[in-house]
Amino acid sequence: MSAYLDHAATTPMLPEAARVLTEQLACTGNPSSLHASGRAARRTVEEARERFAAALGARPSEVLWTSGGTEADNLAVKGLFWARRTQDPRRRRLLVSAVEHHAVLDPAFWMTEHAGAELVLLPVDRDGVLEVDALRAELEEHGDAAALISVMWANNEVGALQPLDQVVALAARYGVPVHADAVQAVGHVPVDFAASGLDALTVSGHKVGGPGGAGALLARRGLDLTPVQHGGGQERGVRSGTLDAALLAAFATAVDVAVGARAEQSVRVAALRDELVEAVRRIDPSAVLRGPADGARRLPGNAHLTFPGCEGDSLLYLLDSAGVEASTGSACQAGVPRPSHVLLAMGLTEDEARGALRFTFGHTSTRADVAALVAALPAVLDRARAAGLVGAGRSASRGPVA
């Protein structure tokens, strides 16, 4: 029995999106061309834009197509900062939650090194939820120097939903634009761009049952964004590059379908999540659920657990060999496994953070996936802990190293 429990990384394409993609791949035409084929491609792009916007409570003119979530996040962080800095040189502070995806964190750090930005990492609590009082204190002291705030809608590792309504309300007092990476949220929790009060919002295709290589940044009308890449002047002159009509049509279809099925699917996957957590705790009472304990305050399909005495990488590989695919949530830089920055920001020690596994559900998930994990996990935990003890013993036997 095998199981795919890594839908937060990428989820299988929805049949409706795959059908649209296949149909559109047979069509020829550059959406920027003026002949008949070009106009047909342009019509496909604009119909996709309208469908996409309608599903997310936005206007079609607020949709900027990108190649994915990473590009959209880069455009938001860099484009907003440069635009604000041009308007007011005092606006140098980037306020970013400490648990953001690297697609937000890395551009923010880059801006400190190359564009004179001052990065402020906003703290989170033990559940991975933004400390709103810290944001309030920062704005009270440096509100006139803030260029933008970026706080994700839902955390990609521990599934914590963030208090964006409070963030937006605070930011409005100081005239600071707010961006949210909603890559993990769309199709899983209600997302309405207009109602949110956000200035910019990121969406990615392959997270919602669409194709890879397609994404979007929703940017409210009148929001100044400095382009990050230059060329043909597509997408209101903000994001140059030839648009792929087939990918965008499939992307819009996936978002429309996922949003339409969200209410029913969220209840179904939340039940699977709860079943998994309960089963894991029976197998290993020392396992700790990370993120909010209240299911209403986390993504419905996310179960992030830490297993004392285990290395997450060992658990991952052992589960994989047993036919269960999950994620550690940790970054691997230069070939060296490192504890998750999200868990460290939540106050976990490095040892606690190393034993992490993330299980995430999606539209193809069933109870059989939970059963496969339950069948494999006891032996996997025994082997992982035995390996950890052997490794610790070898390290101790070497003695101090000069």
Angstrom CA distances, 360 to 8, 83, 103, 364, stand at 6, 37, 20, 11
Whose tokens are 């550059």? That residue is 30
Structure tokens that stand for 337 in this block:
């496994």
Question: Interhelix angle for 36-55 vs 245-260, to 10°?
Answer: 20
Query: In this structure, what token pair is assigned to residue 370?
Result: 């939970």
CA 306 – CA 368 distance, rounded (Å): 22
Whether 332 is a known active-site residue: answer yes
Q: What are the C-alpha distances in Å from 98 to residues 70, 105, 121, 311? A: 17, 8, 5, 23
H helices then E strands: how many in the chain? 13, 14
> Per the residue annotation, which of 1, 263, 332, 392 is the catalytic one?
332
Burial class (CB in 10 A: 0-12, 13-18, 19+), 37: middle
Nearest to 66 by CA among 253, 191, 247: 247
| Torsion sign across C-alpha atoms 167, 168, 174, 177 | positive
| Residue 9 exposure: Cα atoms within 13 Å on the Cβ side | 12
Q: How do strand 215-219 and strand 200-204 relate by DSSP bridges?
A: antiparallel
Q: Please, what is the angle between helix 367-398 and helix 312-321, to 10°?
A: 130
By annotation, the residues acting in catalysis are: 332
